[in-house]
Structure 1
């Protein structure tokens, strides 16, 4: 998820105008790594990313993976998957999921945290409790180590007007959740004394990606991030509309691409989406 740096400066004046992108501030994506060397992302990889339905703007290579849309990590496995179900596109602000979802339901997913300040642990436990309060067939539990999803830290400042708040990926073809959430410990992401509610909302957002949710404003990131309209990509395995979600703007969804700097949890439409899937 990202937050806009310009908005962050405004927030310092009147704690408000921060923009989170799927876990990013308009300072940088919540899941956005340092800019790659020129030419690091090949045209072939960019085409694969576009064919999957993701934006090819501001793609960053992280090891063997690629960070797209500010806070989503695409793995080599994602590139090798074959499209087996249709992409359904109705409007521009509904909830969307990936083709891969967590399988073998009902199921409990463990989450652990390592090498992060206590407030990040508290936020992770709070996010778990919020999910479990929905009484889904998919539940979560906090464990001391080696969780199915591991929350880890990284320290990275703003880049190109955005700052990454956190990042994660999507479920595997085997039906397991993505196994890692990265949270930014840089003081420009959450300040020197991170607010636990705000951290909780970012962890929630990244868990949403781990179990298969895309950004609510998938087709027009300007809805939450500002600036010019930006379509995140063509049809592919990455975006299947979730029935029952609205066809009009949803300004309070917890899966919006950019953060507004507040503790933004599930709204009624988010709950419809999660209950439809799980």
Structure 2
């Protein structure tokens, strides 16, 4: 995810190549699968040995393979081919001690969990440590003012969200927004403006991937993205409220 204020800042750090033959071979297959699934090579990047699409969505090898097994559909909101299984009824979000040391990140996490629990979905979220979890997501820190996550795989949500410590200087609402956004990726949501990031980020038009496998339109939601129209927009503003929009709620209800 990016922020959109006076200056746009990328969420992911400097790109580093992976180390070791096994990792290199695995990442090469992930990239190949993503290209076959319709993502342009220019939007696929490797950072710290991990492969990302859309600047903040980590893709595992298993998830990239699953993307090739589904059909195609075009057109906002968008989801990945991979979703969380209905057997996952309690998703626990487990912040690290470093995460908890940032007061606004910590408050933002509580509010993001509340966002999902207010919707009466097929799962609830709970802040860990706690018991009875059918799935777990770690909440970790990273540098910068954005965040990163990944897509579901094997019926499980992505295993971690990473939130920039620079968000401590933003409002609690902005922290709520970014964390809700990254949890959205973890349960299967693509960016609402994936086809033209300039809608929320400004600058030149950038398409994260063709409207095919891995970018499935959710019935009942708009077919065009607008600034402030979704918590899943690629970039965020310093004025975000942290709340779901009506189209976000429609999308959540449609999937879960």
What residue is the counterpart of 1:212 in the other structure? 188
Take 1:167 and 1:45, find their aligned partners in 2: how far apart are those partners? 18
1:100 aligns with 2:85: no
Contact 1:64–1:76 under 8 Å retained in 2: no
Q: Tell me: CA distance 1:75–1:228, structure 2 relative to 1, closer, same or farther (3 Å).
A: same
**TM-score of the superposed pair, with normalisation by structure 1:** 0.78
Question: TM-score, with normalisation over the residues of structure 2?
Answer: 0.84
Greater shift, 78-87 or 214-223, is seen at 78-87
Given candidates 221, 232, 243, the residue that maps to 1:255 is 232
Deviations 1:131-162 (A, max 9, x none): 11111112101113797011001224xxxxxx
Q: 1:119 aligns with which of 83, 88, 104?
A: 104
Deviations 1:197-217 (A, max 9, x none): 110100000010000000101
Higher helix share: 2
- Indicate how the Cα distance of structure 1 residues 108 and 3 shifts in structure 2: closer, same or farther if over 3 A, else same: same
1:269 aligns with 2:251: no
Displacement of 1:222 in angstroms is: 1.1
Deviation at 1:106, TM superposition (A): 6.6
Equivalent residues in 2 for 1:120-269, closer than 5 Å: 120-144=105-129, 148-156=136-144, 165-172=146-153, 174-185=154-165, 187=166, 190=167, 193-251=169-227, 252-261=229-238, 262-269=240-247
Matched, 1:109 2:91: yes
Which runs of 5 or more structure 2 residues have no equivalent in the other structure? 19-23
Greater RCO structure (CA 8 Å; 6+ sep): 1
Find the aligned partners of 2:113 and 2:43 in 1 and give their Cα distance: 31
In the alignment, structure 1 segments of 5+ residues that lack a partner are: 10-25, 157-163
- CA separation of 1:134/1:229 partners in 2, compared to 1, >3 Å: closer, same or farther? same
In structure 1, distance between residues paired with 2:64 and 2:88: 28
* Partners of 1:33 and 1:67 within 8 A in 2: no
* Cα RMSD after superposing both structures: 2.6
Contact kept in structure 1, 2:63 and 2:152, CA below 8 Å = no
CA 1:165–1:149 in structure 2 vs 1: closer, same or farther (change >3 Å)? same
CA contact (8 A) 1:219 1:230 kept: yes
Q: Is the 8 A contact 1:8 1:27 kept in 2?
A: no
Q: 1:58 to 1:86 in 2, by over 3 A?
A: closer
Write the distance in 2 (CA, Å) between the matches of 1:212 and 1:52.
Answer: 16
1: CA distance, partners of 2:67 / 2:242: 34
Give, in angstroms, the shift of residue 267 of structure 1.
0.8
Which residue is equivalent to 1:8?
6
Give yes or no for the alignment of 1:69 onto 2:54: yes
CA offset at residue 33 of structure 1? 2.6
SS at match of 2:42: coil
How many angstroms does 1:43 deviate by?
Answer: 7.5
